[in-house]
């Protein structure tokens, strides 16, 4: 489901991914109820069959040599497969030349392993991206799991870099988070390098490095409806801790953290709806929220790729207690 439009994805006879609006042109039954027959998508109701382009190839029972007439096509949506994800491009007639611009980093590197999950949450793309990249809530909402509330806070420096298609915060001097997740990342402790970044069209990425330990959490955010978002997340890691252990522990741990986030995002969305809109008070430690919103607004106006505006300098520095 993208922006309220249900889509049906399948693989054509050549194995390539195809996407179409999930509505049979005949009597509007969802095509996703159908099945694949000889490389064609067959509707469940009367058995019309469609190819990857949406053209109707077969109409059972029709004494007509040309089933693929105008008005009988399913509405295809351009799509492209990359890094094990299928990207769809509603509203355009072709996928971008060269494929989607964003590559999931390190996903093909044999030194890394990846755990993927697809999750749905209440909230706009902006709310979900900000949540994924927000440091101050972690000690509070995820106390004990991620960062620990209650211990003496440490002051660290944050460098915020803003580009045409992205905004990034680098956290300098942050000790390894004391919670369970930090212990997994670096059992020996130390100072982590940590970046949070938002990249257009809708990528939220958290990156940690500690010596040769490297962990990336990359989420592509799909607006399911204006107030609901699907996260296609890949946790990609190269760590000293045995990867089999990480693969066993990561899903339940990430699941707990995500459940806490999803619950608070649901309450946030309900509250915003009840009050008829957002009314946010922000401080400078809401590091990326405003920048993400500016990028999304610019993209909505069809102006991505322009230089950062004066109100978002290319680089700014601030201090924060974690």
> Which residues make up the interface to Fe ion (CB under 5 A)?
261
Q: Which does 11 bind (CB under 5 to 8 A by kind): Fe ion, ligand FES, none?
A: none
Q: Which does 43 bind (CB under 5 to 8 A by kind): ligand FES, Fe ion, none?
A: ligand FES
Question: Closest distance between Fe ion and the C-beta of residue 72, in Å?
Answer: 48
> β-strand 191-199 against 76-77: which pairing, if any?
unpaired
**Candidate residues 2, 20, 24, 169; the one interacting with ligand FES per rule CB under 6 A:** 24
**Candidate residues 3, 13, 27, 140; the one interacting with ligand FES per rule CB under 6 A:** 27
For residues 86 and 88, give the distance between their C-alpha atoms in angstroms, rounded to a whole number: 7
Using the rule CB under 6 A, is 48 a contact of ligand FES?
yes
**Candidate residues 45, 85, 89, 258; the one interacting with ligand FES per rule CB under 6 A:** 45
Q: 214 - beta bridge partners?
A: 209, 238
Q: Which does 18 bind (CB under 5 to 8 A by kind): Fe ion, ligand FES, none?
A: none
Question: Closest distance between Fe ion and the C-beta of residue 174, in Å?
Answer: 16
Using the rule CB under 6 A, is 56 a contact of ligand FES?
no
Q: Which does 191 bind (CB under 5 to 8 A by kind): Fe ion, ligand FES, none?
A: none
Question: Closest distance between ligand FES and the C-beta of residue 161, in Å?
Answer: 51
Using the rule CB under 6 A, is 85 a contact of ligand FES?
no
Using the rule CB under 6 A, is 55 a contact of ligand FES?
no
Burial (Cβ within 10 Å: 0-12, 13-18, ≥19) of residue 135: buried
**Candidate residues 1, 11, 26, 161; the one interacting with ligand FES per rule CB under 6 A:** 26
Query: Taking CB under 6 A as the criterion, which residues in 175-234 touch ligand FES?
Result: none
Q: What is the 3-state secondary structure (H, E, C) of the chain?
A: CECCECEEEEECCCCCEEEEECCCCCCCCCHHHCEEECCEEECCCCCCEECCCCCEEECCCCCCCCCCCCCCCCCEECEEEECCEEEECCCCCCCCCCCCCCCCCCCCCCCCEEEEEEEEEECCHHHHHHHHCCCHHHHHHCCCCCCCCCCCCCEEEEEEEECCCEEEEEEEEEECCCCHHHHHHCCCCCEEEEEEEEECCCEEEEEEEECCEEEEEEEEEEEEECCEEEEEEEEEEECCCCHHHHHHHHHHHHHHHHHHHHHHHHHHHHHHHHCCCCCCCCCCCCCCHHHHHHHHHHHHCCCCCCCCCCCCCCEEEEEEEC
Which is closer to ligand FES, CB of 50 or CB of 237?
50
Where does this chain touch ligand FES (CB under 6 A) — which range of 38-46, 87-95, 147-155, 197-205? 38-46
Using the rule CB under 6 A, is 50 a contact of ligand FES?
no
Q: Are 273 and 227 spatial neighbours (Cβ–Cβ below 8 Å)?
A: yes
Question: Closest distance between ligand FES and the C-beta of residue 312, in Å?
Answer: 49
Q: Are 298 and 306 spatial neighbours (Cβ–Cβ below 8 Å)?
A: yes
Using the rule CB under 6 A, is 20 a contact of ligand FES?
no
* Size of residue set near ligand FES by CB under 6 A: 8
Which is closer to Fe ion, CB of 12 or CB of 136?
136
**Candidate residues 12, 17, 39, 46; the one interacting with ligand FES per rule CB under 6 A:** 46
Q: 188 - beta bridge partners?
A: none
Where does this chain touch ligand FES (CB under 6 A) — which range of 21-29, 175-183, 232-240, 241-249? 21-29
**Candidate residues 7, 8, 41, 43; the one interacting with ligand FES per rule CB under 6 A:** 43
Residue 6 has phi, psi (to 5 degrees) of -70, 135
| Interface positions with ligand FES (CB under 6 A) | 24, 26-27, 29, 43, 45-46, 48
């Amino acid at each position: 489901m993208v922006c309220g439009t249900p889509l049906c994805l399948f693989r054509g006879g050549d194995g390539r991914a195809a996407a179409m609006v999930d509505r049979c042109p005949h009597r509007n039954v969802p095509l996703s109820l159908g099945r694949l027959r000889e490389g064609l998508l067959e509707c469940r109701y009367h058995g019309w069959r469609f190819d990857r382009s949406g053209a109707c190839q077969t109409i059972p029972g029709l004494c007509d040599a040309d089933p693929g007439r105008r008005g009988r096509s399913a509405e295809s949506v351009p799509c492209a497969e990359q890094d094990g994800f299928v990207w769809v491009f509603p509203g355009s007639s072709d996928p971008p030349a060269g494929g989607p611009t964003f590559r999931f980093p390190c996903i093909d590197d044999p030194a890394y392993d990846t755990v993927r999950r697809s999750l749905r949450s209440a909230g706009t793309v902006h709310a979900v991206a900000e949540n994924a990249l927000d440091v101050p809530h972690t000690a509070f909402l995820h106390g004990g799991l991620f960062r620990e509330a209650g211990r003496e806070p440490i002051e660290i420096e944050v460098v915020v870099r803003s580009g045409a298609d992205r905004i990034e915060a680098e956290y300098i001097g942050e000790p390894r988070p004391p919670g369970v997740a930090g212990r997994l990342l670096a059992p020996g402790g130390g100072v982590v390098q940590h970046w949070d970044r938002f990249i257009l069209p809708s990528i939220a990425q958290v990156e940690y490095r500690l010596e040769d330990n490297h962990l990336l959490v990359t989420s592509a955010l799909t607006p399911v409806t204006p107030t609901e978002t699907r996260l296609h997340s890949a946790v990609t890691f190269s760590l000293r801790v045995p990867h089999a252990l990480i693969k066993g522990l990561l899903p339940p741990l990430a699941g707990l953290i995500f459940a806490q986030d999803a619950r608070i995002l649901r309450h946030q969305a309900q509250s915003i709806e009840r009050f008829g809109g957002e009314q946010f008070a922000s401080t400078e430690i809401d590091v990326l929220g405003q920048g993400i919103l500016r990028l999304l607004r610019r993209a909505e106006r069809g102006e991505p790729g322009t230089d950062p505006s004066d109100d978002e300098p290319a680089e700014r520095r601030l201090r924060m207690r974690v």
